[in-house]
Structure 1
Amino acid sequence: MTLMLREIQCFARVADRLSFSRAAADLGMSQPAMSQAITRLERSSGLRLFERSARAVRLTAEGRALLPYAEQVLESASAFSTEASRLARPSIHLAYPPLVGSLVARVARRLAARTPPVGVELRVADRAEASAALARGEVSAAVLVVPAPAPLVTGARFHVSVDHLAVPAGHPLAARPRVEPRDLAGRTVLAPGGRPWPGLPGRTRAAPGDDFAAALDLVAAGAGLLPAPQLLVRAVRRDDVTFVPLAAGDLRITYGLAWSRERVTPELMALVQAVQDALWTR
């Protein structure tokens, strides 16, 4: 038995509306064309699907039994069409640290709105994971702290100011209106990703990866104090951690979009432009 999608769609719509005329109007068909489609489906299946009278249309027992299968067919066809459209659309894979997630989301929206649209597959990753994914060709580009590894090209650089200090709730520094760099002398200062903090005294302790939000767990546990970017302060609220303004001058982290010079595509260039545009607008 060969079943055609259009006939199954007509069957499901008539079953929903219990009216050939209303079902035909829903699908932009004439009533005779709707009746013919149902007749073809009944002949093909060898079953009577509807009881018809001048006053009403009712599903037969066979029609009621087949309706769930018709709905599954239509749902699968819709999913097939959606996925085919997604696969046919140019796309790019982007790795990024959680700290810059809001920027990455704006970039993805910009690429989806352009003509033609570019799909973005997002992947949260720390510096080591993102660099390895780039080397293996698993992602097209990554947002990394610069300087990036030597083989990679970087562009669309931007700075994230570090102007707060995360301390455990109840810590002596938590009540300060502002922390000065000299206040860190003799204390353990956490460094996500092992990056140094120029101009800050204290004993530097590398924190695994470069996820600042995860490093707050170490702060809450009393393992050290964390210089915190404004982006983190705005995004995170914890009862066990206090953010205190840090007078550290021009302390900042510089990020850039990194990619392999051997894998440049039009979609990658669209990504670079979208990042640059997102940095200039909000």
Structure 2
Amino acid sequence: MHYVLVLLMLREIHCFTRVAERLSFSRAAADLGMSQPAMSQAVTRLERATGVRLFQRTAREVRLTAEGKALLGHARQVLESAQAFTGEAARLARPTIHLAYPPLVGTLAARIARRLASRTPALGVELRPAGRGAAAQALADGEVSAAILATPAPAQFVTAARFHVTVDHLAVPVSHRLAPSAKVTPAELAGQVLITPSSRPWSGLPGRARTVADDDFSAALDLVAAGAGLLPIPQLLARTIKRDDVRFVPLDAGDLRITYALAWSKEHVTPELMALVQAVQDALWTR
């Protein structure tokens, strides 16, 4: 019975912990915006419910009893658990969008999530990093609400908010003859093997194509290091990836780029999805 009463007396437990921290009913009451009598009554109710005296009170001081000291840590845990419970309940009650995205555009995905969290009413976003194939499958299976996909996206999806990532570097093995180059031109790629995403050949570049899974740059760089081919990549990756076995050389390839778009199923259009579309468009305009 006492256990049930304690669980139901969060306000009283809060008052107890504040008095224990301040060792003053008046200061604790001021902290919580209560009157001193109300604070004293709350602690008294908790003492009666538990059958434990929590404080020794005199005209000059307030001290925790041995029992009060023993219960203080537990009281704090109860309050922390209650706070975690209410926070998680609020999160679960909030509409949530599940967004798949390629790791290459993770900065944009994070910016979109922040925008939706700060809107009124707030909209939660669960981010799922995934390559193009996995993201498209998750979208088709209804596991995510939308996905940022390299275009062309599968025909069954609606797309909007297109944007481009310029491909202006070339990943080569450190021992390759092009590794010391200040800049590589397309003509220098004649006869080379180019590691190529399966859904988008590198338009305008000579060389023989070796196709790999879309957006799996990590695996593609392993192939580069093994001498299996050269990989055109965006500058963003060249700046952030550090490898001793691969060199990133500027590539003068003109308008070579990867185009991405936000994709979703036309059968699952919701107000939350439309808010996501707007957030993506806003994030692209303000980057």
Could you say whether these structures have the same fold, taking a TM-score greater than 0.5 normalized by the shorter chain as the test?
A: yes
1:182-203 deviations in Å (ceiling 9; x for gaps)? 2222222112445311222222
- Alpha-carbon distance in 2 for matches of 1:257, 1:220: 32
User: How big is the alpha-carbon RMSD for the aligned residues of Structure 1 and Structure 2?
Assistant: 1.5
Q: Give the 5 Å matches for 1:102-141.
A: 102-141=107-146
Kindly indicate whether the alpha-carbon contact (under 8 Å) linking 1:181 and 1:248 is maintained by their aligned counterparts in 2: yes
- Alpha-carbon distance in 2 for matches of 1:151, 1:189: 30
- Alpha-carbon distance in 2 for matches of 1:272, 1:194: 24
- Alpha-carbon distance in 2 for matches of 1:193, 1:105: 27
Which residue of 2 is the match for residue 240 of structure 1?
245
TM-score normalised by the chain length of structure 2: 0.93
Residue 258 of structure 1: SS of its match in structure 2?
strand
Which residue of 2 is the match for residue 8 of structure 1?
13
Which residue of 1 is the match for residue 51 of structure 2?
46
Residue 72 of structure 1 is aligned with which of 58, 77, 84? 77
Deviation at 1:224, TM superposition (A): 1.6
More off after superposition, 73-82 vs 235-244: 235-244
Deviation at 1:270, TM superposition (A): 0.9
* Matched letter for residue 159 of structure 1: H
- Alpha-carbon distance in 1 for matches of 2:73, 2:219: 47
Which residue of 2 is the match for residue 160 of structure 1?
165
- Alpha-carbon distance in 2 for matches of 1:217, 1:9: 56
Which residue of 2 is the match for residue 32 of structure 1?
37
Deviation at 1:77, TM superposition (A): 0.6
Q: Give the 5 Å matches for 1:1-282.
A: 1=2, 2-3=5-6, 4-193=9-198, 195-282=200-287
- Alpha-carbon distance in 2 for matches of 1:280, 1:228: 23
Compared CA separation, residues 112 and 227, structure 1 to 2 (3 A)? same
* Matched letter for residue 67 of structure 1: L
Structure 1, unpaired ranges of 5+: none
Kindly indicate whether the alpha-carbon contact (under 8 Å) linking 1:216 and 1:226 is maintained by their aligned counterparts in 2: yes
- The percentage of counterpart residues that share the same residue type is 73
1:42-96 deviations in Å (ceiling 9; x for gaps)? 1111111111112221111211221121111101110011112112222211000
Residue 144 of structure 1: SS of its match in structure 2?
strand
- Alpha-carbon distance in 2 for matches of 1:128, 1:250: 25
TM-score normalised by the chain length of structure 1: 0.95
* Count of residues in correspondence between the two structures: 282
